[in-house]
């Protein structure tokens, strides 16, 4: 597996807590999008940690094409 799977073509809004660490799924195979559920095992992908900066909604990337790390940058709009 060299490219991540497109889990969905829209961001995944999540209410995060300041100081809490989340593990974003980079492979796209997790059933618990946008977070890792261990499905990446053997794929060469690894979860990416993200620590909440403040309490509030964060739009995580779910298409796995973002150039803004774990966060949505609108790249999903270019996917057919």
- Binding part of the chain for ligand FES, among 9-17, 40-48, 52-60, 71-79 by CB under 6 A, reads 40-48
62 binds ligand FES (CB under 6 A): no
Q: How far is the CB of 9 from ligand FES (least distance, A)?
A: 17
Size of the site for ligand FES (CB under 6 A): 12
Q: How far apart are CA 32 and CA 16, in angstroms?
A: 15
Q: How far apart are CA 36 and CA 28, in angstroms?
A: 9
Angle at Cα 46 formed by Cα 53 and Cα 15, nearest 5°?
30
Any idea what DSSP says for residue 1? -
Phi-psi region of 79 (alpha: psi -120 to 50; beta: other; left: phi over 0): beta
27 binds ligand FES (CB under 6 A): yes
- Among 12, 16, 36, 58, which residue interacts with ligand FES (rule: CB under 6 A)? 36
Task: List residues near ligand FES by CB under 6 A.
Answer: 25-27, 29-30, 36-40, 45, 47
């Amino acid at each position: 597996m060299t490219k991540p799977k497109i889990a969905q073509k829209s961001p995944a809004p999540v209410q995060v807590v300041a100081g809490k660490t989340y593990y974003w799924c980079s492979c796209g195979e997790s059933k618990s999008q946008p977070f890792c559920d261990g499905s990446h095992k053997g794929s060469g992908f690894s979860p990416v940690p993200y620590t909440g900066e403040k309490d509030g909604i964060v739009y995580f990337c779910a298409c796995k094409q973002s150039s803004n790390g774990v966060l949505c940058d609108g790249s999903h709009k270019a996917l057919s």
